[in-house]
Amino acid sequence: MLASGDAGVDAAGNDVMVPSPCSTNGEGALRVTVSLDPSIDRGRADVWLSTHCGTNPMPIQVLRWDGTSAQTLPGLGPGTWDVYASSFVSPGAASPAVMLLGVATASVTVTLPSGAPLLARYDSASTVGPDGGVAEDAGVAAAWRGVAAISDPIEGTVGYLECYASPAGEGTLTVQVVVRNACTAAQCPTMNLVAAEARSLEGGNPMDLGTGSWPDGGVTVQPGTGAALPDPITLRGVLPGGSYTLDIAVFGTRGGMRLSGGA
């Protein structure tokens, strides 16, 4: 009997490969239906899908949603799979887990809720600001740093999103974010931070997607202070440069109100 991942022949003498669990060399498929809350602006949403299987915390696949009512993801090996969807305008959501066996096609639905709005965004492909070089601001030692302003349409710059990244081995990065409330007067509004997402790209195409959050529904950032994610985000990728870019979003509010979403 062939074990998973072994090569061999079937009863008719044909070469076969037994699919490995949680692999992309199988014959199963996921049929993914993505539903966006009506409050989410489809014109701003850039929806990515990441497939997860078993206990592996890293995505197996990351790709853009094609916008169809049901997108089929073929070539999946046996295992327990789920799909995470990210819109980058509010925190993402995961589908229920389903079991795939053999050549079966399983249907999953991901509903993206409105959630906390986009507070700040840093896109290394388009943001003009102090980045690059070795960063040690705010006690964060990193190989790369990027900064984006958090803007209010009336008040102008009200804070900053600082992004730090360092290689973590085996083609991965650790990404840390720090949000600063730049208003220092006592009467200035606080910021409430709920979640963050980081995307790595090569030539504008998805490489990986990672997520992080603040516990207990979020953290409050008082005037003149800042807050970092409790744990850095780990994702596959390369430090920004050339065709490699990072795109980072933080979701939350300022004074309980939605902002423009930074740069």
Output the domain CATH number for residue 87: 2.60.40.1120
Residues 167 and 183 in one domain: yes
State how far the alpha carbon of 59 is from the alpha carbons of 5, 14, 219, in Å.
20, 32, 27
Q: Note whether residue 6 is domain-resident.
A: no
Contact 37, 93 (CB under 8 A): no
Residues 235 and 137 in one domain: yes
In terms of residue numbers, what domain contains 216? 118-254
Residues 64 and 162 in one domain: no
User: Where does the pLDDT of residue 14 fall: very low under 50, low under 70, confident under 90, or very high at 90 and above?
Assistant: low
Which residues are CB-contacts of 14 (< 8 A; sequence separation ≥ 6)? none
Classify 90 as helix, strand or coil: coil
Of the candidates 112, 127, 147, which is a domain's last residue?
112
Q: Note whether residue 192 is domain-resident.
A: yes
User: Where does the pLDDT of residue 69 fall: very low under 50, low under 70, confident under 90, or very high at 90 and above?
Assistant: confident
| β pairing state of 105-112 and 98-100 | unpaired
Tokens matching residue 165: 């990244």
Domain of residue 124, CATH code: 2.60.40
Q: Measuring CA to CA, which residue among 198, 226, 227, 222 is closest to residue 212?
A: 198
Q: Note whether residue 249 is domain-resident.
A: yes
Q: Note whether residue 1 is domain-resident.
A: no
Which pLDDT score, from 0 to 100, does residue 142 have?
Answer: 80
Specify which residues 34 forms β-bridges with: 110
CB-side neighbour CA atoms (13 Å) of 199? 28
Q: Note whether residue 262 is domain-resident.
A: no
| Residue 69, phi then psi, degrees to nearest 5 | -65, -30
Of the candidates 112, 130, 150, which is a domain's last residue?
112
Residues 124 and 200 in one domain: yes
Angle at alpha carbon of residue 137, lines to 88 and 201, rounded to 5°: 30
Which pLDDT score, from 0 to 100, does residue 141 have?
Answer: 67
Residues 167 and 214 in one domain: yes
AA letter at 91: P
> Per residue in 149-194, pLDDT tens?
998 888 889 999 999 999 998 899 999 999 999 998 888 999 999 9
> Per residue in 193-237, pLDDT tens?
999 999 999 999 999 999 999 998 899 999 999 999 999 999 999
Residues 40 and 89 in one domain: yes
Number of domains in the chain: 2
Tokens matching residue 108: 């999953």
Q: Note whether residue 261 is domain-resident.
A: no
Q: Measuring CA to CA, which residue among 224, 130, 229, 132 is closest to residue 178?
A: 229
Tokens matching residue 175: 């990404």
Residues 79 and 123 in one domain: no
Residues 80 and 167 in one domain: no
Residues 76 and 192 in one domain: no
Residues 153 and 54 in one domain: no
Contact 67, 32 (CB under 8 A): no
Q: Note whether residue 5 is domain-resident.
A: no
Average per-residue pLDDT in the chain?
87
| β pairing state of 105-112 and 28-36 | parallel
Contacts 24+ apart (CB under 8 A), 92-96: 92/197, 92/211, 94/52, 95/32
Tokens matching residue 20: 């490995």
Of the candidates 112, 143, 174, which is a domain's last residue?
112
Q: Note whether residue 27 is domain-resident.
A: yes
Residues 196 and 215 in one domain: yes
Residues 142 and 195 in one domain: yes
> Per residue in 120-157, pLDDT tens?
999 998 765 444 444 445 556 689 999 999 988 888 89
